[in-house]
Amino acid sequence: MTEAIRKIVIVGGGTAGWMTAAGLSAMLKGLPIEIALIESAEIGTVGVGEATVPHIRHYNARLGLDEADFMRRTQATYKLGIEFRDWGRKGETYIHPFGAYGHPIGGAPFHQHWLRARHLAARGQGTVDPIEVYSLPIMAAFAGKFVPPAADPRSLGSTFNYAYQFDATLYALYLRDYAEARGVVRTEGKVTSVQQRPEDGFVTGITLESGQAIEGDLFVDCSGFRGLLIEGALKAGYDDWTQWLPCDRAVAVPCDSVEPAKPYTRATADDAGWRWRIPLQHRVGNGYVYCSGFIADDEAARVLVEKLDGKAQADPRFLRFVTGRRKKQWLKNVVAVGLSSGFLEPLESTSIHLIQVAITTLLELFPHRGCEQADQDEYNRVMDLEFERIRDFLVLHYHANQREDSDFWRDRRDKPIPDSLAWKMELWRERGVVANYKDGFFKEPSWVAVYLGQNIMPDGYDPLAEALDPAHAAQILAETKTAVARTVQAMPAHEDFLRAFVEGRTRA
Amino acid sequence: MKILIVGTGVDAWLTAAVLAGAAGRAARIAVRETAPPAHGQLVGLPALLGLHARLGIEVGAPLLGLRHGDMLEPFGDTGAMMEGLPFHHYWLRAKAHGETAPLEAWSLTARAAAKGRFAPRSADPRSPLSTLDHGLLLDAAAYAETLKAVALKAGAELVDHRPDADLVVDASGEPGDWIDWSAWLPTGARLTGVEDRIATFAHDAPLKAGRRARAVEGDVVAVGGALASIGAADGGDLHLLQTTVSRLAALLPTGPAAVAEFNRLTAMAVERARDMAILRWGVLDAPPEELAWKIGQFESRGRVVMYDEETWPEGSWVHALLARGVTPKRWDPLVERAPLAQTREMLGRMKAVLEQTAEAMPRG
In tens, the pLDDT along A209-233 reads: 999 999 999 999 999 999 999 999 9
Domain ranges, residue A144 = 96-161+418-490
- Whether residues A72 and A131 share a domain: the answer is no
Helix (H, G, I), strand (E, B) or coil at A132: helix
The predicted structure's pLDDT at residue A438: 80
> B103 in a domain, yes or no?
no
Number of domains in chain A: 3
- Whether residues A66 and A175 share a domain: the answer is yes
Measured from the Cβ of residue A434, the count of other Cβ atoms closer than 10 Å reads 18
| pLDDT tens string A343-402 | 999 999 999 999 999 999 999 999 999 999 999 999 999 999 999 999 999 999 999 999
The closest of B60, B12, B9 to B39, measured between CA atoms, is B9
The mean pLDDT value for A289-295 works out to 97
CATH number for the domain spanning B34: value is 3.50.50.60
Cβ contacts of residue A322 below 8 Å, gap of 6+? A238, A240, A242, A248, A343
Cα separation of A361 and A384, whole Å?
A: 12
CB A116 within 8 A of CB A466: yes
Write phi, then psi, for B170 (nearest 5 degrees). -90, 105
Q: How close does chain A come to B303, measured CA to CA in Å? A: 8
For A201, A245, A492, the CA distances from A237, given in Å and listed in that order, are 15, 18, 50
The predicted structure's pLDDT at residue A47: 53
Return the minimum-mean-pLDDT range out of A9-13, A107-111, A420-424, B54-58.
Answer: A107-111
Q: Where are the alpha helices (DSSP H) in chain B?
A: 9-23, 47-55, 87-96, 108-114, 140-153, 236-251, 256-281, 289-301, 314-323, 340-360
CB B67 within 8 A of CB B260: no
| pLDDT tens string A49-86 | 589 999 999 999 999 999 999 999 999 999 999 999 99
- Whether residues A347 and A471 share a domain: the answer is no
Question: Do β-strands B2-7 and B167-171 pair in parallel, antiparallel, or remain unpaired?
Answer: parallel
Cα separation of A301 and A489, whole Å?
A: 39
Helix (H, G, I), strand (E, B) or coil at A277: strand
- Whether residues A342 and A227 share a domain: the answer is yes
Which of the residues B248, B330, B331, B342 would you substitute to probe the A interface, choosing the one with the greatest number of A C-beta atoms within 10 Å?
Answer: B330
Which of A315, A342, A367 is the last residue before a domain boundary?
A315
- Whether residues A300 and A363 share a domain: the answer is no
The predicted structure's pLDDT at residue B25: 86
- Whether residues A62 and A183 share a domain: the answer is yes
Nearest by CB to residue A366, choosing from B22, B308, B334, is B334
Q: In what order do the strands lie in the sheet with B71-74?
A: B71-74, B65-68, B198-206, B187-195
> A403 in a domain, yes or no?
no
Q: Is A235 a catalytic residue?
A: no
Axis crossing angle, helix A419-431 with helix A373-399, rounded to the nearest 10: 50
> A181 in a domain, yes or no?
yes
Does A423 contact B255 at a Cβ distance shorter than 8 Å?
A: no
- Whether residues A114 and A157 share a domain: the answer is yes
The predicted structure's pLDDT at residue A437: 83
> B213 in a domain, yes or no?
yes
Cα separation of A101 and B111, whole Å?
A: 45
Does A423 contact B337 at a Cβ distance shorter than 8 Å?
A: no
> A498 in a domain, yes or no?
no
- Whether residues A303 and A259 share a domain: the answer is yes
- Whether residues A217 and A352 share a domain: the answer is yes
Gyration radius (Cα) of chain B, Å: 21
> A500 in a domain, yes or no?
no
Helix (H, G, I), strand (E, B) or coil at A214: strand
Distance linking the first and last C-alpha atoms of chain A? 48
| pLDDT tens string B210-223 | 999 999 999 999 99
Predicted confidence band at A44 (pLDDT cuts at 50, 70, 90)? low
Instruction: Give yes or no for residue A45 having a pLDDT over 80.
Output: no
Helix (H, G, I), strand (E, B) or coil at B204: strand
The predicted structure's pLDDT at residue A457: 97
> B52 in a domain, yes or no?
yes
Which of A315, A338, A364 is the last residue before a domain boundary?
A315
| Contact list, A378 vs chain B (CB under 8 Å) | 297, 303, 305
In tens digits, what is the pLDDT along chain B, a chain of 364 residues? Answer: 999 999 999 999 999 999 999 988 899 999 999 999 999 999 999 999 999 999 999 999 999 999 998 889 999 999 999 999 999 999 999 999 999 999 999 999 999 999 999 999 999 999 999 999 999 999 999 999 999 999 999 999 999 988 899 999 999 999 888 999 999 999 999 999 999 999 999 999 999 999 999 999 999 999 999 999 999 999 999 999 999 999 999 999 999 999 999 999 999 999 999 999 999 999 999 999 999 999 999 999 999 999 999 999 999 999 999 999 999 999 999 999 999 999 999 999 999 999 999 999 999 7
Angle A453-A433-B164 (CA atoms, 0-180°, nearest 5)? 135
> A351 in a domain, yes or no?
yes
The predicted structure's pLDDT at residue A42: 67
- Whether residues A157 and A298 share a domain: the answer is no
Nearest by CB to residue A368, choosing from B25, B265, B333, is B333
> A91 in a domain, yes or no?
no
CATH number for the domain spanning A174: value is 3.50.50.60
Number of domains in chain B: 1
Which of the residues A436, A451, A468 would you substitute to probe the B interface, choosing the one with the greatest number of B C-beta atoms within 10 Å?
Answer: A436
- Whether residues A307 and A367 share a domain: the answer is no
Which of A338, A371, A388 is the last residue before a domain boundary?
A388
Domain ranges, residue B266 = 2-68+134-278
For A303, A393, B294, the CA distances from B306, given in Å and listed in that order, are 48, 23, 8
Measured from the Cβ of residue B293, the count of other Cβ atoms closer than 10 Å reads 18
> A171 in a domain, yes or no?
yes
| pLDDT tens string A144-164 | 999 999 999 888 999 999 999
| Contact list, B89 vs chain A (CB under 8 Å) | none
CB B207 within 8 A of CB B188: yes
> B56 in a domain, yes or no?
yes
The predicted structure's pLDDT at residue A508: 66
CB A52 within 8 A of CB A353: yes
Cβ contacts of residue B76 below 8 Å, gap of 6+? B46, B64, B107, B108, B109, B121, B131, B132, B133, B134, B315
Does A439 contact B308 at a Cβ distance shorter than 8 Å?
A: yes
Predicted confidence band at A417 (pLDDT cuts at 50, 70, 90)? very high
Cα separation of B210 and B206, whole Å?
A: 13
pTM: 0.96
Write phi, then psi, for B189 (nearest 5 degrees). -85, 150
> A496 in a domain, yes or no?
no
- Whether residues A334 and A365 share a domain: the answer is yes
Q: In what order do the strands lie in the sheet with A218-221?
A: A185-188, A34-39, A7-11, A218-221, A334-336, A330-331
Among A7, A29, A79, A415, the active-site one is: A79
